Amino acid sequence: MRFIPYSDIRDKLVPSVEDFDRIIDLARAAIDQNEYVSWAILAGSAVRHMLSPASDIDLVVCLGKGLRSFEIVEALAQISAISADAAEHGVPFEPHVVTEDELEAGLHTLRHGYARHLNWAIAKGGLIKGSIDCVPGLPGNSRDDLIGYVARKIDKARGNFIRQRGSGIGIRGDSWYDWLGDILSVHRHVLFRFQDMYDMHDCFDPDVLLRDTGAIEDFLHLDAMRLEYAVCLGQQLTNPNPAVWYEVETRVADCGIVLLSFLGSIENYLVRTAPAPI
């Protein structure tokens, strides 16, 4: 979930769910006609049927094996045309492009956990072109990958939290709104990663995770803020009020410490329950 700046609300730049549906349909058609695409997977909120004006489109495209440079350039140009159309409608759309050659050689950035999520998306009907049984991620295991994900989010959260506390409300810019988006969504991303792994028989029950870590209170606090934000966004789209929106922005920012507490609980649990080395 993204945090929408008030300027986008004021200038009517916030996309509707219909805009997302239109771009997804356009992407499906363009990918289907792109002769250089081997397979493509739609993932994230689109495959979960949870699109909202604050969503983005998560798409992974794999180009075929043995393509020449000019063919790759042509393929990327066709995909970029979709991104340009999405940008005109305010829809965040940045497809992740890999090639079969990169996958075979391990020269890509699909982490183990993200590859597991893509395989979950395939099982949920997210494969929009081609045929692939299992996306090969980088070497690793689900637990270590999730520990790394949580650690990266903790480092980012700490830095943003310290800057926020040092200067009051953040200097409004892309990094600031990215941080607010993390506060609204990272707790869900962590749970979804566990759910994906659980569905693929690669992890334990995420409900047990929240109970055993003691993170349930933080999770519910963050989720309540997420709901308040979503409701207020809907109201702002029809009746913009900068004072109300900046108040919501401040309350979201104040939940940064709750996100840190949540991530710390998850990290401690993952480390504490790690299998003993053989």
Task: With residue 37 as reference, give the H or E element that holds it.
Answer: strand 37-43
Range ranked top by mean pLDDT from 27-41, 88-102, 123-137, 174-188: 27-41
Torsion of the alpha carbons at 228, 234, 236 and 238, rounded to the nearest 10: -160
Instruction: Read off the pLDDT of residues 202-222 as tens digits, 9 standing for 90 and up.
Output: 566 666 777 777 788 999 999
* Per-residue pLDDT at 247: 96
> Could you tell me which of 59, 13, 19 has the C-alpha nearest to residue 40?
59
What are the residues whose beta carbons fall under 8 Å from the beta carbon of 30, sequence distance 6 or more?
78, 79, 81, 82
Q: What is the rounded distance in angstroms from the CA atom of residue 107 to the CA atom of residue 105?
A: 5
Q: What is the rounded distance in angstroms from the CA atom of residue 132 to the CA atom of residue 270?
A: 31
Compute the average pLDDT of residues 93-103: 90
Q: Amino acid identity of 246?
A: Y
**CA separation (Å) from 38 to 34, 160, 168, 180?**
9, 40, 49, 36
* Per-residue pLDDT at 204: 60
214 C-beta neighbours (distance < 10 Å), count: 14
**CA separation (Å) from 258 to 45, 182, 201, 220, 225?**
23, 12, 30, 10, 11
Instruction: Read off the pLDDT of residues 238-266 as tens digits, 9 standing for 90 and up.
Output: 999 999 999 999 999 999 999 999 998 88
Higher local confidence (pLDDT), 139 or 53 = 53
Is the pLDDT confidence value at 169 over 60?
no
Quick one: pLDDT band at residue 142, thresholds 50, 70, 90? Answer: low
Compute the average pLDDT of residues 148-172: 72
Q: How many degrees, rounded to 5, is the angle at CA 193 between CA 148 and CA 185?
A: 90
Higher local confidence (pLDDT), 191 or 18 = 18
* Per-residue pLDDT at 168: 54
Average pLDDT, the chain: 86
* Tokens, residue 54: 């604050």
Task: With residue 129 as reference, give the H or E element that holds it.
Answer: strand 127-129
Q: How many CA atoms lie within 13 A of 119 on its CB side?
A: 21
Quick one: pLDDT band at residue 174, thresholds 50, 70, 90? Answer: confident
Quick one: pLDDT band at residue 277, thresholds 50, 70, 90? Answer: low
* Per-residue pLDDT at 116: 79
% residues pLDDT > 70 (the chain): 87
What are the residues whose beta carbons fall under 8 Å from the beta carbon of 165, sequence distance 6 or more?
none
Quick one: pLDDT band at residue 39, thresholds 50, 70, 90? Answer: very high
Compute the average pLDDT of residues 36-49: 91
DSSP state of 200: T
| Strand pairing class (58-63; 37-43) | antiparallel
Bridge partner residues of 57 (DSSP): 93
* Per-residue pLDDT at 50: 86
* Per-residue pLDDT at 201: 60
* Per-residue pLDDT at 192: 77
- Whole-model pTM? 0.81
* Per-residue pLDDT at 175: 82
CATH 3.30.460 for domain 6-129, yes or no, is yes
* Per-residue pLDDT at 85: 92
